Structure 1
Amino acid sequence: MSSPPPETTTKPTGHLLPNGCRITHGQAGNIKKPFTHMDLTMHELTAGTSNNTKAFSGQLGFIEFTTSHRLPRHIHMDLSRTRLADERILVLHGVGMVEIAGALWVVAPGSLVDAIGGVPHTWTACPAGVRLPNGVVSRGTFTMVYEYEEPTAFFPIASTEPIGSGSEYVEFTGDFDEIRFPELSRKEVIARARVVIGREVLSLQ
Structure 2
Amino acid sequence: MSSDVGVTLSNGCRITHGRGANIKKPFSDIDLTMHELSPGNQKGFRGQLGFIEFTPELRLPRHVHMDASKERLLDERILVLHGVGVVEIAGKVWATAPGTLVDITGGIPHTWSACPAGVKLSDGSVSEGKFTMVFEYEEPTSFFPTRSTETVTNVAQYQPFDGDNFDEIRFPKLTAQQVAEQAEIVFDKQQQRLSLP
Within a 5 Å distance, the mapping from 1:95-106 to structure 2 comes to 95-106=84-95
Within a 5 Å distance, the mapping from 1:164-203 to structure 2 comes to 164-174=153-163, 175-203=165-193
Name the counterpart of 1:116.
Answer: 105
Query: Partners of 1:147 and 1:171 in 2: how far apart?
Result: 23
Aligned amino acid, residue 183 of structure 2: A
User: CA offsets per residue over residues 118-160 of structure 1, 9 Å max, x none?
Assistant: 0000000000011101112110000000100001000000000
- How many angstroms does 1:32 deviate by? 5.8
Q: How well do the aligned residues superpose, as a CA RMSD in angstroms?
A: 1.9
Q: How many residues align?
A: 191
- How many angstroms does 1:42 deviate by? 5.9
Query: Partners of 2:177 and 2:78 in 1: how far apart?
Result: 26
Query: Partners of 1:56 and 1:200 in 2: how far apart?
Result: 27
User: CA offsets per residue over residues 163-182 of structure 1, 9 Å max, x none?
Assistant: 01111112102110000000
How does the TM-score come out when normalised to structure 2? 0.89
Structure 1 ranges of 4+ moved more than 3 A? 27-36, 41-47
CA 1:112–1:131: 2 relative to 1, 3 Å: same
State the SS of the aligned residue for 1:144.
Answer: strand
Q: 2:56 aligns with which of 52, 63, 67?
A: 67
Aligned amino acid, residue 189 of structure 2: R
* 1:155 equivalent in alignment to 2:144: yes
- How many angstroms does 1:183 deviate by? 0.3
How does the TM-score come out when normalised to structure 1? 0.86
Name the counterpart of 2:71.
Answer: 82
State the SS of the aligned residue for 2:167.
Answer: helix
* 1:17 equivalent in alignment to 2:9: yes
Aligned amino acid, residue 13 of structure 1: V
Given that 2:73 and 2:155 are in contact with CA atoms closer than 8 Å, whether structure 1 keeps it comes out as yes
Query: Partners of 2:99 and 2:119 in 1: how far apart?
Result: 17
Query: Partners of 1:31 and 1:98 in 2: how far apart?
Result: 25
